[in-house]
Structures are given as structure tokens and as C-alpha cells.
Amino acid sequence: LLAEENLIVVIAYSISNTEKEGFIPIRQVTDEALKKGYKVIGLSASSPEITKGVTDEYKLNFDFYFCDETTLKTIIRSFPGIIELQKGTIKQKLHWKDASELKLKKL
């Protein structure tokens, strides 16, 4: 994933404690990112059953990968949060309330 040219990562380190209403604007920006050619993934320390539940409930268009909670908190404190990576370099980091400010380029 660190070699990806354009990657959007949604981070929700603990889905049980996350602000779930944040997945509504996140779904909107990840839909747009996919249309523009970005790869989109989620990272969470929550179990596959919990991540599948939120993916189904909010009709999210990406899969979650498991990662250590402390590592995810180090990356971004908001939950859920969004980061844009370009070959492993963070280009943008946003709280879900600022999701509409994510600047996506046409690829």
C-alpha cells in the first residue's frame, strides 16, 4: 500500500467508540475518490464482524484492514479520520467533519 500513487485511508481505530455519523460524509468523499481513480481502504483495530457491520450499515465502498489501535491513534486522533497518501507520504489529514474539504485530483 505504501507504493500506491494515490491512496485514501479511512481510520476508525475503535468502531464501537467512533462517531458513526462521520461515516455519512466519509462515504460521499470515498465515492468521489473512487470515481477519480484513487484506491480507498479503511484501517481499524476493531474485529472483522464489527467492521463488516459498519460497512453494511453505511454502505461503505471500501474494506477495512486490521491494525494496532495505538498505531492508528498515532496517525490521526479523530475517529473516523481521513488521510491521503501518495507513495507513503501523507498529503492531507482530515477530521470527518472536514471531509468535504478533501482535495481530490482527477487521475
Give the separation between CA 84 and CA 82, rounded to whole angstroms: 7
pLDDT of residue 107 exceeding 80, the answer is no
Quick one: CATH architecture of 7-97?
3-Layer(aba) Sandwich (3.40)
pLDDT of residue 1 exceeding 80, the answer is no
Please give the pLDDT value at position 40.
Answer: 98
pTM of the full structure: 0.93
Instruction: Give the type of residue at 94.
Output: L
Give the separation between CA 107 and CA 105, rounded to whole angstroms: 6
**pLDDT tens digit string along 7-60?**
999 999 999 888 999 999 999 999 999 999 999 999 999 999 999 999 999 999
Please give the pLDDT value at position 4.
Answer: 92
pLDDT of residue 79 exceeding 90, the answer is no
Please give the pLDDT value at position 77.
Answer: 81
Which DSSP symbol is given to 63? -
Please give the pLDDT value at position 78.
Answer: 80
Give the separation between CA 104 and CA 48, rounded to whole angstroms: 29
Please give the pLDDT value at position 80.
Answer: 93
Q: Where are the alpha helices (DSSP H) in the chain?
A: 23-35, 48-57, 69-75
Give the separation between CA 63 and CA 30, rounded to whole angstroms: 12
